[in-house]
A and B are shown apart, each in its own frame.
Chain A
């Protein structure tokens, strides 16, 4: 039976998948470790949607998933929740190693910070995430793709600027992004404890349900069961 929702991404897919199952949806999840996404080597692929040709084992897994769901990870008629392209936990600590920050107010008041411009930030993101963002851009032309940005777990201004910049880039291409940090009841503060997974750095199933409910309410998931 054809699934009614595909969930593709890193560890943040877990909450969404749990929530979708809890809603009785026939959701299929393609989970790929954040480490692999972080490598920024995955490419758009004409038939299977995503290719990881440089990692044969992973590529076989992607191909098998694509075959299972009807040919491609991204296809018309099946909405896709995508939680990849960010992976900030692997990017931001490295970027901030010497005190760099793209957040103006932070660098103005804290002497140890070194400001970096928006132009640099975008070029840096393009280098580290460009291939993934390209996958999203092309995927959105083939399917109803909704990028689900990570919830606000940390309040580090550097991480938040990165998240905003990535969201801005993706939205600039016309891709729909659900940004939990811009939800009126969640904005400006870390994700409430009752919506957090035990590890403290991911949303839990309740969070996933909240996200799905909001996507349905706004009609962002089309053709859903």
Chain B
């Protein structure tokens, strides 16, 4: 555990300690120095520490200092974005602001936007599709690290077309063969690796605790039979990942991320989008609260315990009482663009891009490559025009 800070108030400090018996970890807050008779630990806290001034009176658009980056990032910081569907909004906002969004698996040059969209290019920093659970993230990272072979996860066949069980809807009509699905998966993993290696911050949005696995332990992106594949009660099982296993998956994921890029930071968020359905047996409202609560708790603890991990409160901004659910569409599930805008406003305001730029060399190399291609294509035009002139000579 390498983080020992609970905030900005100088008169106290926090310390993570493990219980000698059960090894569970708790954060203790210690207050230093003597306090006068009328003082207590709440006396000097800022308005944002109190619900009335921080939320109720501030109102939806008055929320302040919700988040500030603990890291001084380079002025040209690059971000990779992955996770559940809400992460797409972060990708879009970074692109719209022309911030350094890493696209490890971009669409081929010359791809029109609608075609790129159909094939899920440019949604996340590689064509992973939605990564809903920490278990899914860990599997992908283990594949990038070479710990799991690229062809191990299942490929599903339906009516002569094939779907990658890790991202069943990545291609509108599936793949022509198992081999093609695996080749595409390999490209995705290369893209994911590029996205890790090229980023200063890996933004990951946790979506669900509920998921489906094979009996061999392979997590799926979706329940087999819903977006591809066929459900087999003897082979597929429902899992409601608990706090400990999510924490473990994130710890292992962080270790792989840092191995691939020792300078990378992990920014966790929790998707405010409720579950579409629960297979837990409970009511979907309770299941949603449970799921998001667990994810929020794990994310918070990861941030407390690692200096290179932080939590960004997009979940709180959208779901907090100040919004009175106004940031949801009438289906009370999808987030309206105005909500995304507010979330991203807090994100950009909280960033600290004050470090020296460090990606100039990469940017220059990309520009040089573009120029070389433009030159080659110009030469091609010239050669073609000259060849045609010869024919007129013959007529």
Contact = CB atoms under 8 A, between A and B. Distances in A.
Interface of A: 10-15, 17-18, 21-22, 29, 31, 33-35, 89-91, 93-98, 100, 104, 107-108, 111, 113-120, 123-124, 127-128, 197, 199, 201-202, 205
A17 B394 contact: yes
A202 B106 CA distance: 32
B388 A13 contact: yes
Contact of A91 (B110, B179, B387): B110
Contacts of B388: 10-11, 13-14, 31, 33
A117 B184 contact: yes
Contact of A95 (B109, B176, B186, B380): B109
Interface stretch (B20-28, B130-138, B217-225, B370-378): B370-378
Interface stretch (B167-175, B227-235, B264-272, B339-347): B167-175
Nearest to A17: B391
A126 B44 CA distance: 66
B380 A108 contact: no
A32 B369 CA distance: 29
A116 B180 CA distance: 9
A155 B190 CA distance: 25
A36 B236 CA distance: 55
28 contacts: A11-B388, A13-B391, A14-B389, A17-B394, A17-B395, A18-B394, A22-B394, A29-B391, A29-B395, A31-B392, A34-B381, A89-B377, A89-B384, A97-B109, A97-B110, A107-B183, A108-B186, A111-B190, A113-B187, A113-B190, A115-B184, A115-B187, A119-B171, A120-B119, A123-B115, A127-B115, A201-B387, A202-B383
B2 interface: no
Contact of A124 (B108, B171, B173, B175): B108
Q: Size range of the interface on B?
A: 35 or more
Contacts, number: 135
A108 B183 contact: yes
A11 B392 CA distance: 11
B48 interface: no
A119 B69 CA distance: 42
A11 B384 contact: yes
A31 B386 CA distance: 12
A115 B370 CA distance: 20
Given A115-B186, A197-B390, A33 B385 contact: yes
Interface string B106-132: 101111100100110000000000000
B395 A21 contact: yes
B105 interface: yes
Contact of B109 (A34, A96, A108, A119): A96
A123 B387 CA distance: 30
A91 B376 CA distance: 11
A118 B162 CA distance: 13
| Residue of A18, A22, A94, A107 with most chain B CB atoms under a 10 A cut-off | A94
B198 interface: no
B191 interface: yes
A33 B392 CA distance: 13
A119 B170 CA distance: 12
A104 B181 CA distance: 11
Nearest to A31: B388
A123 B110 contact: no
A101 to B, nearest CB: 9
Contacts of A114: 105, 187, 190-191
Contacts of A201: 380, 383, 387
Nearest to B186: A115
Contact of B183 (A34, A104, A202, A205): A104
